[in-house]
Structure 1
Amino acid sequence: MDFTPTEEQAAAQELAARIFGDLATPDRLAAAGTGTDAELWKALCAAGLPAAVEEIGLLGLVLLLEEQGRTTAQTPFAASCVYGILAVARHGTDEQRARLLPALRDGSAVVAGAFPASGDPGERGGIGADGRLTGEVPWVPWLRDATHVLVPDEERALWLIRTADAVVEPVELTAPWSAGRLLLDSAPGERLGTGPEAYDDVLAAARTAFAGLQAGVCAGSLARAVDHANTREQFGRPLATRQGVQLRAADAHMDTEAIRVTAYEAAWRHDAGLPCAGQALTAAWWAAEAGKRVVHAGQHLHGGTGADLDHPVHRHFLWGRQLDAYLGRGAELLQELGDLLADDVHLANGEPS
């Protein structure tokens, strides 16, 4: 495995860092409230970053999402790229790709994903014989921005539904992700892919992508904490000279690197066409468990300042906790990973699962 970015991936990451750094400022984030920064989304699309994901792959997307996470920029970038561009590019027919991808590339179409990170898709509704979907999803990130939503049915088949054919009710989450409640009442759906294999592929890609986003959230939180510890003095000495502060920051750094490297491995395998479900689960577990520790540490290392709800570090805390909930709780992910490993052992031994 070689996680060294290609020239195209490195250039895209540098461009993303510049755009997010210039436009996702604390003042603009505060002005956006709980919604999306429409001007930032336009800038990303005008720069060709969503379109570039087709060329730079999931590993390239992970690199871009790290930059988004560092600034907690409020755009549907992660969702539309993984549930829209990558899903359609990998599993759409020639006709679907020709019809859907141009609008996804320029940002005039946005896809959200009504995807459970774990559990049975059938718990959220079903598809009728006439190709119409009925059901409810309590919250879908960035649904209020979406023109389409990707929905799995009880058979783990994927259906692309126009939000104009559904009911979308605004929902506020822990993080300001422009989320909504999705209600489907015999909504017409367009089949994407050929069956459960497409669902498993998209779910693994989503887990990996959002783990990359969490790596950026954690890196941004830690950077703010380190800057505060180096400049804030207590009893005439910077906080950073205290051994307890150093050890807490070091642990947070190691956790952040663990999230990053496991996301890179899962993304690399996905792009190479190798089995990656186990690696995606591993990245998701690190993102959920370690991510939670890092954003708590970032807030604690700010001392009393960390309790200020308007301080930028609090946004990282909210995003980290939301990503923990979205990726699936650690125990659930470990159980799923254990079941997957057990199935692999049974298969290797020629035994039934």
Structure 2
Amino acid sequence: MDFTLTEEQDAIVEVATQVLGGTVTHERLKELERSGGDRFLPDVWQELAKANLLGIALPEAHGGTGFGILEACLVLREIGRTCAPVPYLACVVGAAMPIGAFGTPDQQARWLPGVVDGSTILTAALSEAGSYSSPTAPTTTATPDGAGGYRISGEKWHVAALDRAARVLVPASTPDGGVVLALVDPAADGVRTEALLTTASTPEWLLVLDGVAVDADDVLGGDTPAGAEALAWTIDRCVVATCALQAGVCRQALDLTARYTSERHQFGVPIATFQAVAHRAADAYTDALGVETTMLQAAWRLAEGLPADDEVHIAKFWAAEGGQRMIHGCQHLHGGIGVDTDYPLHRCFRWSKELELTFGGATEHLRRLGATLA
């Protein structure tokens, strides 16, 4: 496979690097963490919008640039590299892209322009307790309520940006065995939320729905509701987007490790010259490369409309297994400074551990990959 990026993709990476590198610094993140304030940088979100990176995978008719999941993953990789606290995955990949692919013209016109210009944040509630063994069969229920509407009941876990989202994309199972994707108002009657404590302190919530009324206009697809196929489409892209974040985190951790082992001296020479250190660093580099290349392969196949079930599972296995092995190696090579919160590696470690289990860990994806081959 040729991993060479096109000129347009190179330009996307360059713009994302400029936007994020200039606004998301270690000192700024450290100040944000110590303040205990809102883990969201609105100015960074607006800069992403001005650069049209929020609309990179959304239809041109609504202000986007019409690219796809591969280009979105290139942006996410840079977000992971800077550990930027912005809900790009949840908003763009989890909610806006499904609306662009399966929403009615009215739904697209209502929500996508605001996402593109940064004025509207959407999110997706795709996780349930112990759900990844059957992600396309949610236990949350949608009971018909007349005129194409539904009553939604159930619990969704780890919902990002719920405190600022205008709508939440909620998959739910119908009595006839089908699936609908509903755009739920977080302020609607019957909605309860609870902030969660996460490994990387990313802002996530428990979403409890108790007979929440959803009109036909807020059912994705309208009169022809998007079903299990649309949910699988969405989850596949969110899984690969998670791998893209992990690839960026690995890049940053590896860069920090290369710099540290080159500058740290023992016995009058850089510790990078010691064979054991070089071997550990080489293993970390190999794992980081595995995370990135499997992510790119899965994203490319999804973007091209090719069968990608195996590649998605392989990418997430590498992001989980290779990612945690790589980040532990970087911590090992740093010694005690690696856990010092004045130094940026701790941030990579915490986010990598969180991403390891997001949308299923290594064992779950290996089990599902094995089932496709059995």
TM-score w.r.t. length of structure 1 = 0.92
Q: Please state whether the residue corresponding to 1:118 is helix, strand or coil.
A: coil
The aligned counterpart of 1:17 is 17
Report deviation, 1:241: 0.6
Trace 1:180-259 onto structure 2 (pairs within 5 A). 180-189=205-214, 190-193=218-221, 194-259=226-291
The aligned counterpart of 2:169 is 150
Report deviation, 1:329: 1.6
CA 1:221–1:97 in 2, change beyond 3 Å: closer, same or farther? same
The aligned counterpart of 1:349 is none
The aligned counterpart of 1:64 is 75
Does 2:325 correspond to 1:293? yes
User: For the Cα contact (< 8 Å) 2:87–2:161, is it kept in 1?
Assistant: yes
Report deviation, 1:2: 4.2
Give the Cα–Cα distance (whole angstroms) in 2 for the partners of residues 181 and 18 of structure 1. 34
Query: What CA deviation, in whole Å up to 9, does each residue of 1:22-52 have, x standing for no partner?
Result: 1110121123336111221121112211112
User: For the Cα contact (< 8 Å) 1:252–1:294, is it kept in 2?
Assistant: yes
The aligned counterpart of 1:99 is 110
Report deviation, 1:179: 1.0
Does 2:55 correspond to 1:51? yes
Report deviation, 1:320: 0.3
Report deviation, 1:60: 0.6
The aligned counterpart of 1:27 is 27
Give the Cα–Cα distance (whole angstroms) in 1 for the partners of residues 179 and 250 of structure 2. 32
User: For the Cα contact (< 8 Å) 1:150–1:160, is it kept in 2?
Assistant: yes
Give the Cα–Cα distance (whole angstroms) in 2 for the partners of residues 156 and 214 of structure 1. 30
TM-score w.r.t. length of structure 2 = 0.87
Query: What CA deviation, in whole Å up to 9, does each residue of 1:67-86 have, x standing for no partner?
Result: 11111011111221101221
Letter in 2 for 1:191: V
Trace 1:320-331 onto structure 2 (pairs within 5 A). 320-331=352-363
Letter in 1 for 2:126: F
Report deviation, 1:223: 0.6
Give the Cα–Cα distance (whole angstroms) in 2 for the partners of residues 30 and 209 of structure 1. 25
CA 1:233–1:124 in 2, change beyond 3 Å: closer, same or farther? farther
Q: Which moved more, 1:104-113 or 1:317-326?
A: 104-113
Give the Cα–Cα distance (whole angstroms) in 2 for the partners of residues 182 and 134 of structure 1. 10
The aligned counterpart of 1:264 is 296
Query: What CA deviation, in whole Å up to 9, does each residue of 1:292-334 have, x standing for no partner?
Result: 1111112221111012133210000000000011131211111
User: For the Cα contact (< 8 Å) 2:290–2:318, is it kept in 1?
Assistant: yes
Q: Please state whether the residue corresponding to 1:153 is helix, strand or coil.
A: strand
Does 2:74 correspond to 1:76? no
Give the Cα–Cα distance (whole angstroms) in 2 for the partners of residues 148 and 277 of structure 1. 29
Give the Cα–Cα distance (whole angstroms) in 2 for the partners of residues 86 and 13 of structure 1. 20
Q: Show structure 2 runs of 5+ residues with no match.
A: 59-65
The aligned counterpart of 1:168 is 193
The aligned counterpart of 2:132 is 118
Q: Please state whether the residue corresponding to 1:164 is helix, strand or coil.
A: coil
User: For the Cα contact (< 8 Å) 1:74–1:176, is it kept in 2?
Assistant: no
Taking only aligned residues, the RMSD between alpha carbons, in angstroms, comes to 1.7
Aligned residue pair count:
342
Q: Show structure 1 runs of 5+ residues with no match.
A: 343-353
Structure that is richer in helix per residue: 1
Q: Which moved more, 1:140-149 or 1:180-189?
A: 140-149
Q: Which moved more, 1:106-115 or 1:58-67?
A: 106-115
The aligned counterpart of 2:5 is 5
Q: Which moved more, 1:120-129 or 1:249-258?
A: 120-129
Q: Which moved more, 1:224-233 or 1:6-15?
A: 6-15
Match of 2:308 among 276, 295, 305: 276
CA 1:71–1:298 in 2, change beyond 3 Å: closer, same or farther? same
Q: Please state whether the residue corresponding to 1:280 is helix, strand or coil.
A: helix
Give the Cα–Cα distance (whole angstroms) in 2 for the partners of residues 138 and 115 of structure 1. 8
CA 1:296–1:180 in 2, change beyond 3 Å: closer, same or farther? same
